Chain A
Amino acid sequence: MTTDSGQKQNTEHREHKTPNYMAIFWWLFGLTVFEVGFSVFTHPPKAVLMIVLVGLAVVKATMVALYFMHLKFERKSLGLLFASTLLLGAILVAVGIGEHILPKP
């Protein structure tokens, strides 16, 4: 399936310093432990809990996308492609939430 040209470009893309994957792993592990501890052992107001947990999840997901999926080292167009779907998804969810939060006419 893979062509020679594809392979060449594939190797071109890899001409970057290999990230420290174990460091990323420890960050992901530490943030997950903090997340679970924060949810189970503390009892903050619901809004605070939601903001902190969603914020941490976004940080972790971004780390996976940037370093494990190598988006940080890929062409910008690929990042834009992926980010555009995330944006569309965010709009979809925001509209759904708005249905319940915004005052009804």
Chain B
Amino acid sequence: MSHTSTATLAPAQVSHEPEPVTGIPHDKMGMWVFLCSEVMFFTGLIGSYIVLRFGSPSWPHPGETLNIWLTAFNTFILICSSVTMVQALAAIQRGDTRKLKLFLCLTLLGGSIFLGIQAYEYAKLLEHGFNPKVSLFGSVFYTTTGFHGFHVFCGVICIAFVTGKAFLGKYTQERHLGVETLGLYWHFVDLVWIVLFTIIYLF
């Protein structure tokens, strides 16, 4: 008896799922709430950096230690990948799955290049003795950029997953929330880098 009722209730629950009270799809709302928590996370890191810097009697000029031009190029790459991500979303909204795949691949490439350049930058800095233990600047630099790099890494993994799904034809003009929520995350990572690049590399 109970088996029968469960079997008959299940499809009904699916087809009559209530409208989201927020008016925003749950996946997207969930991503926004997650991003809000990420804002607080990065604010903690950036706030610590600012407080430590204000509290230090002397602070090295970033240009003396860091390769600003290389990182400026990396910033350019990340901005480009943000553009390709938003173009991927625009493409699937038009129903253009070929362009969706193309732009997702370009975004994946951009994210991978960013990580590659960051790894190269770290290797060069460590080679020259600039490590997290060397100074307060060193520890703050590696903590903030390292956590951001980890976020980019997670983003690249997710982009690879979504790209795979795109190649399997899982996204259509009507059904592509996965691309949109991933895009939100990726743009947020770009947004955070814009702030980090300015306060860590250019001051």
> A interface vs B, CB < 8 Å?
1-7, 9-11, 13-14, 18, 21-22, 24-25, 28-29, 32, 35-36, 39-40, 49-50, 53-54, 56-57, 60-61, 64-65, 67-69, 74-75, 77-78, 81-82, 84-86, 88-89, 92-93, 96-97, 99-101
Contacts and interface: CB of A to CB of B under 8 A. Distances in A.
Contacts, number: 154
B126 interface: no
Interface of B: 15, 17-20, 22-28, 32-33, 35-37, 39-40, 43-44, 46-48, 50-51, 54-55, 63, 68-69, 72, 75-76, 79-80, 82-83, 85-87, 90, 93, 174-175, 177-178, 180, 183-184, 187-188, 190-191, 194-195, 197-199, 202-203
B51 A97 contact: yes
B40 A64 contact: no
B175 A53 contact: no
A35 B22 CA distance: 39
A48 B168 CA distance: 52
Contacts of A13: 24
A101 B177 contact: no
Contacts of A10: 25, 28, 177, 180
B47 A96 contact: yes
A6 B25 contact: yes
Interface of A is mostly: helix
12 contacts: A2-B175, A7-B177, A10-B28, A21-B83, A25-B79, A36-B202, A56-B198, A68-B190, A75-B24, A85-B36, A96-B54, A97-B51
B70 to A, nearest CB: 11
Contacts of B82: 64, 68
